[in-house]
Amino acid sequence: MNKIIAFLFLVLGIAASAQDGYWQQDVQYRMAIDFNAEQHTFTGNQVLTYTNNSPDTLHRVFYHLYFNAFQPGSMMDVRSRTIADPDPRIADRINNLQPNEIGFHKIDKLTQDGKKVTFSVEGTVAEVQLAQPLLPGKSTTFEMKFNSQVPIQIRRSGRNNEEGIDYTMTQWYPKLAEYDRDGWHSEPYVSREFHGVFGTFEVEITINSKYTLAGTGVVQNPEEVGHGYAESAPTSEKTTWKFKAENVHDFAWAADPEYTHLNTTLTNGTELHFFHRNDSMINENWSRLVPFTEQLFNIMNDRFGAYPYQQFSVIQGGDGGMEYPMCTMISGTGSFGGLVSVAVHEAIHNWYYGVLASNEQKFPWMDEGFTTYAQNLVLDSLFKRNRLNPHQRSMQSYIGNALSVSEEPLSTGADYYETNRAYGSNAYSKGCVFLVQLSDIVGQETFDRAMISYFNQWKFKHPTPQDFKRVMEKAADMELDWYFDSWIGTTKTIDYGIHTVNSNGKKTTIEIERIGELAMPVELTVKSEKGTEFIYIPLEKMRGAKPAPEWLKDNWKQEADWPWAYPFYKVQLDIPLESIQSIQLNPFEKIADTNPKNNLFPSSNISFPPNE
């Protein structure tokens, strides 16, 4: 090939695969932590090189100081006591913390390129006025000295939790807030969900040698730390653990003197590590968890994109389950089924949260809902259930909430829901149903392909719903704004029903009614003496149609488009009414039809006028 043409191909190829105008900030953290396990305090020296890849000049930056949430009177405390349906795990526990039980971060010194900066702290956020404006394309280095106290564990983070884990160190260091295409995100720590800047973390933790540590990244000095990373055992009173992680947006760790450390390596080379307390029941469940986790990674790599890091750690953190890059903190006790379920859910977050790092505060459903979708499929496969609809529980949970007064739009920010119930149902179930229905709209094979290209195009970035929509639209060659806008931005629901079934001699006419406000493509099966026929009615606004699934090709019939404003649609069948055994709308249950009673014929709910 001519060199100039080859060069043009190269340039055009790059242009076609990049996201127009996309940019994101970059952080390089180097932290040295000196930990005092008697006092539950630590000092930190944090050197942070920050690169401004935005087109804007920055005059200030923000740091999250998450531990400050665990103080009486904090936003988290007041919110957890005043929300309509308080989380019983928190309730008034923060309000009752004593001074030696609270959490805090205190900034002792902060400079920018050696110059002192001024800053103010409000609750869980520090606002820093830069000594020098940070111009587009430039880097600057902040150096911070801080001291912190680890709170009694209330939620996710802290010391001495119910299961007896000494330290679950999550949201544990002053963390730079993200500035992205959407502006600053200096969310105070009220309840849940995070957003961070991608980059590199080099973290050195000096702590009493009796502790085994587990966390984000790869241990750089296994021979010095021992504890299952290497045969050798440390001999000095304190050990310095050196962790390094690249292409991550957070760093978490945990420490306990009684961790049992198991590990295994997948055929593709990914190392899996497991850390749990030494107890006969826990030991048995956790050794059984190892092969399940191996299978989980193999399924996820095949179906949703290849896990890109060298290792992953499943850590008994002792409080529910929570995702962090390259690791998860989960409860260690309870049934084996529960353990697998939570480990699967949290590990999958490394795809939806860790690698595809959508802003969880704004779009909690893009990590919880997408994770729930994959979790339902993985659990179905791990436990060989082969259910027709592995998402049925998510569907039922969504419909239950959609028909209740607590329903709020999916576009609500994570901390801004009126009730914990609405958050839970929306983020997990409505977010999952969003994908189930989308797979039905574009067709399962197209959807599966698009999920992998979404992963590959957006990995190590912050995709928004719009970015996801464009990937799906291009894969399906369809318009999808009607679905994204209504499902995410409104509480409109779906209900189709069989209105009438009429006989016209040798033919039959089915009249379908759109009762719900949200229009969707419609599928129905007609069972007769001739066999089963699948009828598909695309929505006009899709400007396209999904292909017939391979296994249904011979019995598949596509009707004319349905323009959404029409409440009724007629389907003509070349089958006499008396030979029809049944008609069913939404036969695969992939659409969250809020009233399935009117989906069946014959049924007492359907009017069935005699032949006129």
CB of 292 to Zn ion, least distance (A): 18
User: Which H or E run contains 202?
Assistant: strand 199-208
HSE-up (13 A, CA, CB side) for residue 489 = 8
Query: Closer to Zn ion at the Cβ: 300 or 512?
Result: 300
Whole-number minimum distance, CB 462 to Zn ion, in Å? 18
Looking at the Cβ atoms of 213 and 342, the one nearer to Zn ion is: 342
User: Strand pairing of 327-330 and 311-316?
Assistant: parallel
Q: Smallest distance from the beta carbon of 355 to Zn ion, in angstroms? A: 15
Q: What is the footprint of Zn ion within residues 368-407 (CB under 5 A)?
A: 368
Q: How far is the CB of 387 from Zn ion (least distance, A)?
A: 21
Give SS3 for 302.
helix
For Zn ion, what does the binding mask look like between residues 407 and 426, x meaning CB under 5 A?
--------------------
Burial class (CB in 10 A: 0-12, 13-18, 19+), 302: exposed
* Neighbouring-strand partners of residue 530: none
Position with the least CB separation from Zn ion: 368
CB 297 within 8 A of CB 269: no
To the nearest whole angstrom, how small is the minimum distance from the Cβ of residue 76 to Zn ion? 19
Which C-beta is closer to Zn ion: that of 52 or that of 426? 426
Window 185-224: contact mask with Zn ion (x via CB under 5 A): ----------------------------------------
Nearer of residues 368 and 593 to Zn ion, judged by Cβ = 368
Q: Whose Cβ is closer to Zn ion: residue 305's or residue 354's?
A: 354
- Minimum distance between the CB of residue 421 and Zn ion, rounded to whole angstroms? 16
Q: What is the DSSP letter of 610?
A: P
For residue 80, give every residue at least 6 positions away whose Cβ sits within 8 Å of its Cβ, in sequence order, or none: 86, 87, 90, 91, 92, 94, 191
Q: Which is nearer to Zn ion, 368 or 415 (CB)?
A: 368
In the complex with Zn ion, the residue whose CB is nearer, 29 or 194, is: 194
**Minimum CB–partner distance for residue 422 and Zn ion (Å):** 16
Closest distance between Zn ion and the C-beta of residue 345, in Å?
Answer: 6
Residues of this chain, 492-531, that bind Zn ion according to CB under 5 A = none
**CA angle, 594 as apex, 593 and 600 as ends, to 5°?**
60
Shortest Å distance, C-beta 367 to Zn ion? 7
Question: Three-class SS string for 374-428?
Answer: HHHHHHHHHCCCCCCCCCHHHHHHHHHHHCCCCCCCCCCCHHHCCCHHHHHHHHH
| Residue 339: closest CA among 282, 257, 258 | 282
Residues 342-371 contacting Zn ion, CB under 5 A: 368
Shortest CB 364 distance to Zn ion, Å? 9
Backbone angles phi, psi at 591, to 5 degrees: -110, 135
Residues from 25 through 84 that contact Zn ion (CB under 5 A) = none
Give the dihedral sign, CA 379/367/322/300. Answer: positive
Using CB under 5 A, count the residues that bind Zn ion.
Answer: 1
Output 178 or 368, the one with its CB closest to Zn ion.
Answer: 368
Tell me the C-alpha distance between 512 and 497, whole Å. 6
CA dihedral 139, 144, 149, 152 (to 10 degrees): 0
Residue nearer to Zn ion on the CB measure, 77 or 368 = 368
* Nearest-angstrom CA–CA distance, 21 and 559: 40
Return the number of the residue (368 or 495) whose C-beta is nearest Zn ion.
368
Neighbours of 524 (CB within 10 A): 22
Question: Per-residue contact track with Zn ion, 280 to 319, x per CB under 5 A?
Answer: ----------------------------------------
Residues that bind Zn ion (CB under 5 A): 368
